[in-house]
Amino acid sequence: MRIIFTSIFILFFLSACEKNKNSSDPAVLPDAVLKTEVLTQSLKFPWEIIYGPDNFIWFTERAGKISRLNPSTGVITLVRNITEVNSIGEGGLLGMVLHPQFNANPFVYVVYDYGTADNYKGKVVRFTFNNGVLSAPLVLLDQIPASSNHNGSRLLITPDLKLLITTGDANAPAQAQNTKSLSGKILRLNLDGTIPADNPLPGNPLWSYGHRNPQGLVIANSALYSSEHGPDTTDKINLIQKGGNYGWPNVAGKTGPMFAWTPTIAPSGLTYYNSDYIPQWRNSLLVVTLKGSMLTQLQLDDNGIKIKQVKNYFQNQFGRLRAICQSPDGKVYIATSNGTNDQIIEISAR
């Protein structure tokens, strides 16, 4: 009887030790309880939000404004109003990215639409931040076909300091398959606007093609992920490959996207989350959606090439959501796209 009791005690002790060990293991941290706070609610069609190295949230509004938001006080400071912008339909001032070494190279890259309805174009412009304002505009790429919708326009700077630009088909679907057209593509430039020598086609900014309306772009796990609007079916998350053809308009989506939604949800801004601050979101793509009016978590496998689990948050709580970013400490920020009284919202852990 004593031997049996001793064996049971040893098993219990070992089990308790294992539980204590696991409780400190980041892989099994308890889920955080999420809290939301509206930081500002006076905006009109914000399109991009970036948590800057100055601890301000930089954001664009479609009519032409670039501003900085102090997340601690809610105070907004205008740094540039681009008067050339013409917002037609879903066009206007859209994507933005800051130089990764912003303190040494205070450059801000934006993409915006201008012109008239019958001659509507997009351009990529670099500004310099100095004394609280953006100045010295330098055009890096011009004459991008634009339209009242399907403009793409997410910007990303890669670790090797190349500028990626998503473009939509600008309501001319066949041009997505035309490698000489700038529309329906993911484009790749050097940061001075020249074309990298290792692009798929010599002298061509094309990186991938056959896109309908890609509005999210992020690099993680040594991979490039995009979110893209389909037609009536097949919104998707894609792994982007150099020179890849993603099918539009011949097919709604390339065979084997990482994930697809039917019915559609209009996925837009995309980020990769891997912080212990909200442990249930670790190793996940977070995408905000317009039609779906929610934030969707796509948890990745250890290799970052398959989606293990999908979970939705804040559905219909804030309306249409366009953009997402995160702070170094793991807080997440989202921007609405409802047109009146738009908001920037902080998601934190209680």
pTM, rounded to two decimals: 0.91
Render each residue's pLDDT in the chain as its tens digit; 350 residues: 333 333 333 333 334 434 343 333 445 789 999 999 999 999 999 999 999 999 999 999 999 999 999 999 999 999 999 999 999 999 999 999 999 999 999 999 999 999 999 999 999 999 999 999 999 999 999 999 999 999 999 999 999 999 999 999 999 999 999 999 999 999 999 999 999 999 999 999 999 999 999 999 999 999 999 999 999 999 999 999 999 999 999 986 555 799 999 999 999 999 999 999 999 999 999 999 999 999 999 999 999 999 999 999 999 999 999 999 999 999 999 999 999 999 999 999 99
Determine the pLDDT at residue 251: 81
Distance of CA 299 to the CA centre of its chain: 16
* Residue 9 is assigned to a structural domain of this protein: no
Query: Does any domain span residue 1?
Result: no
Check residue 256 and give its pLDDT: 72
**Residue 15 forms part of a structural domain:** no
Instruction: Please report whether residue 10 resides in a domain.
Output: no
Are 96 and 62 spatial neighbours (Cβ–Cβ below 8 Å)?
no
Q: Is residue 26 helix, strand or coil?
A: helix
Cα of 288 vs its chain's centroid, Å? 8
167 residue type, one letter: T
Give me the pLDDT at residue 28, please: 74
As a whole number of angstroms, the distance between CA 324 and CA 102 comes to 20
Residue 254 has a pLDDT of: 53
Residue 202 is predicted with a pLDDT of 98
Query: Which residue of the set 99, 150, 211, 229 is catalytic?
Result: 150
In-domain check, residue 21: no
Which of these, 214, 215, 208, lies nearest to 241 by C-alpha position? 208
115, 86 contact by CB (below 8 A): yes
Whether 7 is covered by a domain: the verdict is: no
CATH number of the domain bearing residue 71: 2.120.10.30
CB 219 within 8 A of CB 226: no
Report yes or no on 319 lying in a domain: yes
Element (H, E) at 267: strand 267-273
- Report residue 271 as tokens: 């980020």
- The predicted pLDDT at position 253 comes to 53
| 106 CB-side CA count, 13 A | 11
Q: Is residue 8 part of a domain?
A: no
If one counts the domains in the chain, the total is: 1
Tell me, what amino acid is at 300?
A: L
CB of 316 closer than 8 Å to CB of 333: no
Q: Is 229 a catalytic residue?
A: no
Phi-psi region of 175 (alpha: psi -120 to 50; beta: other; left: phi over 0): alpha
Structural domain of residue 229, as residue ranges? 31-349
What 235-241 contacts at long range (C-beta under 8 Å, 24+ apart), as own/partner pairs, is 235/260, 235/261, 235/262, 235/264, 235/265, 235/266, 235/267, 236/260, 236/261, 236/267, 237/267, 237/270, 237/285, 237/287, 237/298, 237/307, 238/214, 239/305, 240/186, 240/207, 240/208, 241/208
